[in-house]
Structure formats: structure tokens, C-alpha cells
């Protein structure tokens, strides 16, 4: 599976084509689906452009995507930079009137397992985000069912990133949930190629990188997806 990660915490100053409003997210997702994306991960924004877990903000984005492309699974983030208080994160999820298909929960964050349990109780599939080798042990203590494990390589040096990927993949239970392997920043394409080599799901989009494999800034998410497909992803 190739997932497109549309925006993350970036701003328009980092890339002018970054989708922020619901209309922009929907239009961009349609282009990415046509380019080969099989799922979409988005950080919904409020009217000021700020990432938000607010029930109405989540509902507007998820509803817009479902109406435009009902066959495409939709996921959101629950990162603690969006809402630092675990209690507030849980309360927001419990109040969501429209549910995404899946949501990512970073295992290293305070209250992560409780956030994951709340999602699962509401019928939202959980993606466990592992950002470093030590996060594997934190994840293995969870009792919450997990739909997918995100092995996320965040160190800026490609050699370090690939070493982290190797260690995390080796430490995961062999019969565990499926894995999606991806990187961010300078090592994005190196890690994507490693995911393709291993036959793993991966992701690409402006959340992770603004440049194409040759280092040239891409036009937008759909061009990044097409480049990933050309490398064998999806």
C-alpha cells in the first residue's frame, strides 16, 4: 500500500501547494488517488490553519474526503504537538461525530496507549507510530489491538535512518500487524526505496518531503506520489 501524507505540520512558507482547507485537501487527494495513492493521511486544520483534533474540524475534513472518494481509507494524526494534554486528546476523540478509518498514535508520547484504546473503542483502526528503536519496547507493552505499525525514520542522516529501520524491524514480533516503513526529510527517498526492497507498505507526501528523488522541489503531492509509484511503491 502507498499512502499519501498530505500536509503534516508544514506551512505554506515551506511549500506553496500545501493543502490546508478542506476543499484543498479534497482536491489534492483526488489528484493523489489518480497518481496511485491507496490511502490518505491528513492533519486537519481549523480556520486559522492550525492543526486540530476538534470534533467539528475532524468531521469536516473526513466528511469532505468520504464524499469525494468514498473508497479511499482516511487517516488522521493524534500527535501530542496538536494537543499536549492526553486527557484533552482522549476527550476530543470521544466527541468525534464522524470517525476516520484509522489514526496514528506515537508510542513514545505521554498517554499513548490510552489514546490508542479510546480510538479502538470507538471503532477507529490504530496505527502505532515508532520513531526510534526504543519505541518498539514501549509498543510491545500495549494491550490495544493495532491495525498497522508505522516504522518512522526521523533521524536526518540516511545511514542512521536505515540503521534505525533495520533495528526496529528486527525487534518487532514476527507475527505482528503489517508494517508501513517511511522516512522524513533528507532520508525520505532512501527509506522509501528500502520499503520497496522489503515489500513493505510506505508513504510519501509533503508532510515527509518537498523534493523529488533527484532533489528538485516537486510541484505537489500528486507528483511525489507518481515518483514513488515509479520507484515501485504501491
Render pLDDT for 147-180 as a digit per residue (tens, 0 to 9): 999 999 988 888 898 999 999 999 998 889 999 9
Q: What is the mean pLDDT of residues 186-198?
A: 95
Fold of 2-230: TIM Barrel (3.20.20)
- Output the 3-class SS for the chain: CEEEECCCCCCCCCCCCCCCCHHHHHHHHHHHHHHCCCEEEECCECCCCCECCCHHHHHHHHHHHHHHCCCCCEEEECCCCCCCCHHHHHHHHHHCCCCCCEEEEECCCCCHHHHHHHHHHCCCEEEEEECCCHHHHHHHCCCCCCCEEEEEECCCCHHHHHHHHHHHHHHCCCCCCCEEEEECHHHHHHHHHHHHHHCCEEEECCCCCCECCCCCECCCHHHHHHHHHHCCCC
pLDDT band at 234 (very low <50, low <70, confident <90, very high): confident
Look at residue 156 in the predicted model and tell me its pLDDT. Answer: 87
Look at residue 158 in the predicted model and tell me its pLDDT. Answer: 84
Look at residue 89 in the predicted model and tell me its pLDDT. Answer: 98
Output the nine-digit C-alpha cell for 156. 536526518
pTM confidence score: 0.96
Computed over every residue of the chain, the mean pLDDT equals 96
pLDDT band at 138 (very low <50, low <70, confident <90, very high): very high
Residue % of the chain over a pLDDT of 90: 95
Look at residue 161 in the predicted model and tell me its pLDDT. Answer: 87
Look at residue 194 in the predicted model and tell me its pLDDT. Answer: 95
Look at residue 173 in the predicted model and tell me its pLDDT. Answer: 86
Amino acid at each position: 500500500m502507498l499512502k499519501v501524507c498530505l500536509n503534516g505540520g508544514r506551512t505554506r512558507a515551506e511549500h506553496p501547494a500545501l493543502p490546508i482547507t478542506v476543499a484543498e485537501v479534497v482536491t489534492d487527494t483526488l489528484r493523489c488517488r489518480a497518481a496511485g495513492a491507496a490511502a490518505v493521511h491528513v492533519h486537519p486544520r481549523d480556520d486559522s490553519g492550525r492543526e486540530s483534533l476538534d470534533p467539528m474540524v475532524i468531521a469536516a475534513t473526513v466528511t469532505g474526503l468520504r464524499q469525494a472518494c468514498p473508497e479511499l481509507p482516511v487517516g488522521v494524526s493524534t500527535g501530542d504537538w496538536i494537543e499536549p494534554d492526553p486527557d484533552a486528546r482522549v476527550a476530543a476523540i470521544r466527541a468525534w461525530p464522524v470517525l476516520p478509518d484509522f489514526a496514528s498514535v506515537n508510542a513514545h508520547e505521554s498517554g499513548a496507549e490510552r489514546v490508542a484504546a479510546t480510538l479502538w473503542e470507538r471503532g477507529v483502526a490504530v496505527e502505532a507510530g515508532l520513531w526510534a528503536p526504543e519505541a518498539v519496547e514501549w509498543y510491545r507493552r500495549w494491550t490495544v489491538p493495532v491495525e498497522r505499525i508505522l516504522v518512522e525514520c526521523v533521524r536526518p542522516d540516511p545511514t542512521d535512518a536505515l540503521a534505525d529501520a533495520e533495528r526496529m524491524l528486527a525487534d518487532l514480533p514476527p507475527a505482528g500487524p503489517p508494517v508501513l516503513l517511511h522516512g522524513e526529510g533528507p532520508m525520505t527517498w532512501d527509506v522509501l526505496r528500502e520499503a520497496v526492497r522489503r515489500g513493505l507498505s510506505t508513504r510519501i507526501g509533503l508532510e515527509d518531503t518537498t523534493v523529488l528523488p533527484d532533489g528538485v522541489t516537486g510541484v505537489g503531492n500528486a507528483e511525489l506520489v507518481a515518483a514513488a509509484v515509479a520507484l515501485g511503491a504501491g
